[in-house]
Amino acid sequence: MKLAARRVKNAALVLEDGSFFLGYGFGAVARVSGEVVFNTGMVGYVESLTDPSYHGQILTMTYPLVGNYGVPPYDAVDEWGLPAYFESAGVKVQGFVVHECCRTPSHWNSAESLDEWLKREGVPGIEGVDTRMLTKKLRVKGVMLGILEVCEEGVEPDVDELLREVKHVRDPNERKLASEVSCSKPVSYGNGRGKRVVLIDCGVKLSILRQLLKRGVDVVRVPYGASADEVLDYRPNGVVISNGPGDPKRAVEVVDAVKGILDEELPVLGICFGNQILALACGGDTYKLKYGHRSQNQPCIDVKTRRCYITSQNHGYAVSKESLDETGLRVLFVNANDKTVEGVRHEKLPAFSVQFHPEHSPGPLDTEFLFDLFVKMLGD
């Protein structure tokens, strides 16, 4: 009896601490670098992979099987002309790490497999990795820089070369990552008859736009770097500061713009990165978390009612509670697990923000009501 040929491990993930993981490649043949992070969600890989907040990162999924329901069609659009099933126009992660990549998906809305999609998008993936071991390492040591390489079939990666190269990988958080995933020019949405909201695009998830639009709000999406005067020229009824990647302290242009907007006492809503920006604009501080919050099951507590909400999250930085004393901001939500700040509100100004994602996608719908509160603040 003829034995089947042994499959060559043609992919490798190496970390800056000198550890490495060998596996099998899928998606694109490529070598990429970035910050290696993990997400503990069981589903939602399509939304996560297209979330601009993952720009600059190599994403690891802790759930063992990924890709089983495939990838929906790209050409499907919603009633506002936005891609119906995605959070942006394409995959935003640098690379993808899973235990097992399903190449034969089963779902009525699947147009292609995860492997085919990433290959078309030019993004490499590695499977056959002990993602539990990798995640435990990142939890103990913190997120690390890494290199992911997928070679041609039959070619093995040069691990020694990769380990030398990873020592020189530049931390993507040193760049203004939010500016790299923002729109290039203003874009308007809506029928022109609703309240006008200016959305400062730091890497916005399209579901945030959908939540505003379905409430009858007209939205003007402006690029990263838009000044307060440019925002105010649209005569908005309110302003939203979006999610986005990277260190919020690098986004000095957005912080300065929000300072000017707050002076006009307009309603302001910050989401994720926007929560950190609001805190910085009011004189608060932010810091980097050891391994961040990335999942769809983070419990957050309303400090006033003590009610717990289950939330979707994707961030590596947080607002310092101790820095808020002289800012006029008060804590609105805290994380039930590590007690980090999950939201703030201003005592005198009509401004509040949350660290989690009330637009969900993926995740529970618990906090979608926050959009209703913001729209109510816009007035009749």
DSSP 6: P
Among residues 272, 300, 342, 346, the one annotated as catalytic is 272
Catalytic site residue from 315, 346, 357, 360: 357
> Which element (helix H / strand E) includes 34?
strand 30-39
- Among 16, 127, 149, 359, the active-site one is 359
For β-strands 238-241 and 341-346, DSSP reports them as unpaired
Element (H, E) at 139: helix 131-141
Is 55 one of the catalytic residues? Answer: no
Beta bridge partners of 59: 37, 96
> How far is residue 321 from each of residues 158, 259, 324, 346, measured CA to CA in Å?
45, 20, 6, 14
The secondary element (H helix, E strand) that includes residue 277 is: helix 273-281
Interatomic CA distance for residues 63 and 43, integer angstroms: 8
Q: Establish whether 47 is a catalytic residue.
A: no
Q: Are 380 and 368 in contact (CB under 8 A)?
A: no
The one-letter amino acid code at 362 reads P
**Number of Cβ atoms within 10 Å of the Cβ of 216:** 12
**H or E element, residue 316:** strand 308-319
Determine the Cα–Cα distance for residues 156 and 149; give it in Å rounded to an integer: 10
| 359 a catalytic residue | yes
With H, G, I as helix, E, B as strand and everything else as coil, classify residue 87.
coil
The residue ranges of DSSP E strands in 242-285, in sequence order, are 268-271
Q: Quick one: tokens of 144?
A: 């690390």
Q: Are 367 and 310 in contact (CB under 8 A)?
A: no
142: left (phi over 0), alpha (psi -120 to 50) or beta: left
Active site residues: 272, 357, 359
